[in-house]
Structure 1
């Protein structure tokens, strides 16, 4: 709906702007460069489109949260709730200060962009005259000056945004830290219930997700994974395992709720920042045309040969790569067909090790490999997971044992949360959490 409304609004806005500018006097057009007017009708209108298509839903969500969350917190504990509301004051002041400063900065940036666009438009419109009088060098110097001014104003605008993001997060996090400390101080003597305190510290929206045209796969789903923990997901097909992994890798966005990384909504992270912080390894390690070294360095093409080798050594891939006739320069062939599925997966894990992400998501990484290869991949997983947060969709029970924690998902909810040692045998079950098949001894895995 927001996209449809946005397109209708900007279509109408462009039409009104065109009609308005066409009705202005000749003197008006003499005072305003055509490039500046064109910039208004293009970049400024595009900013309005961006607001409608990507901003309105966030504004509505923020407005609802601004009303709903404080009310809940006030009901839980009026003193902490009042403190939370008071803590919003410096955040609001930071926003107001940014708005006041940014008006001038963004106006100058718009003017500089318009001047550069206008000069270019004017030069090419009168190119015959430019050539006739040999003004190419003069025009080039003038445009270079306008271009440098545009760069300067653009840089100032980006710096202003960076200052705002930094200062607002600092103020907000400081306020949260203060509330956490005060709440902890009140919990110790028993003047504040631990559950209420946890509500303040961990308050979030639960996640729901439905594929287009389908039913909800996840409904009211909530999960906290501490940094550095390896979590294995098991359960029947359709239980929500791959959906959860896709949300964490931001292949999809939740229908409701938020997915947070270190307290930051994934939707607010730049794509490059997200892809460096969260890396997903699919079920089958896909190799692209090129050499082995190029495939390992796919996400870091600037990596040195030593760094590529160290990544391969860490995951155990170096042993078979070094045995190849051309070593790391060996061409992998069509989709890596010259390598076994286990070898392809080791190369994929070497890729991850080289990128050095904070979070790793593995979608049944051992499901299509044989038992001997599985041991090598599991050893590589232990190396790659060290000091990182990992979410592993496990098809085989052997994969579960690399995890610190096991979650059993069914019908989009966690029905079991336990350590690997607490799982049952599950022998003979096609899926670890399915009931045993008729005639097969042993209880369900969980």
Structure 2
């Protein structure tokens, strides 16, 4: 899988060209390559500030941004690593609250790639080199904490070489990346959701609390076994902590109760993600974060392309030529769990025009089906740089005609006057939309 990272900074562009030439060899998964690469770099993963490590099918990036904002509201310095980037590769590495500079990024990538080549090519992937660069940056820049998002799964994700995290967490569980996470393997659970839980809970470490939401019994059975084997305390929602979502987040655990504000980010699921972040903070005792800082951080958190209402820009201006009050929403969701969350948000809103661009290896019904009775029209655009589903792929899952369009601008220009717009189906499409609307993540 290619990431097609680009940059207008010459030194970064040169390193991204080297990075873009890498790929995951067919059938090769494991931690041996990242461990070998990090060893050549002096094992920076052993010198990180206290780590919050977060996995999940959906919601892990949002949980990470709540953690970062709450820690920063306490006055602590925080590094964070999230993925994928939407517009600029720099979005993957945040040092003390700011995106990594181009010159620093170019230096880090060069060091990692040179170390690989100098010792004999280990054959690392795009993601393994990126992870090594993240660990170098975090180890060499002082901070009070770092927040690290798992990339794919957990057990065999390149980030899962962190030896001693402060606390780990798992957001929602759902079926995604089946080709990797559900591939046949001796000793792995046969049930798909149980297998996903087994993969995600692979980030568990001895004595580091694991904080989770509540899941079906077959998934929780796997988590229980892994935490018991590692000696990690397991703090599960509904048993060890709770969060009632209403006009506020009514949070409760063994230490007491909190009444916290709802996030500015849209969707009930964002309040669930914020509650998970609160539970992770309260599961550890090394860093103190007050309820006031938690509340401030929850309200301050921003996370692009997750039910994001786009601001004024070229795409929004185009959408409002025929309708000056039209809203344009953007979400990178592409699996059934994301589709359910998007549908909950629009269940109480007027129907929308859907513009979809989805990778060909995703389920074409994932978004369209949950939104069936909330749609005015369906348009299909390419997913930039990737093989994508055709209009015919979506037509089987909606009673509406499906309109093919060359790009997002053409899809917006073809819409009738009435109705708001939802653009979704891929984070690659979301990044392209943000770029076209001149709305760059900072």
TM bucket normalised to smaller:
under 0.3
Answer 1 or 2: which has greater strand percent: 2
Q: Which has the larger radius of gyration?
A: 1
TM-score of the superposition, structure 2-length normalised?
0.26
Question: Structure with the greater relative contact order (CA < 8 A, sep ≥ 6): 1 or 2?
Answer: 2
State TM-score, norm by structure 1: 0.26
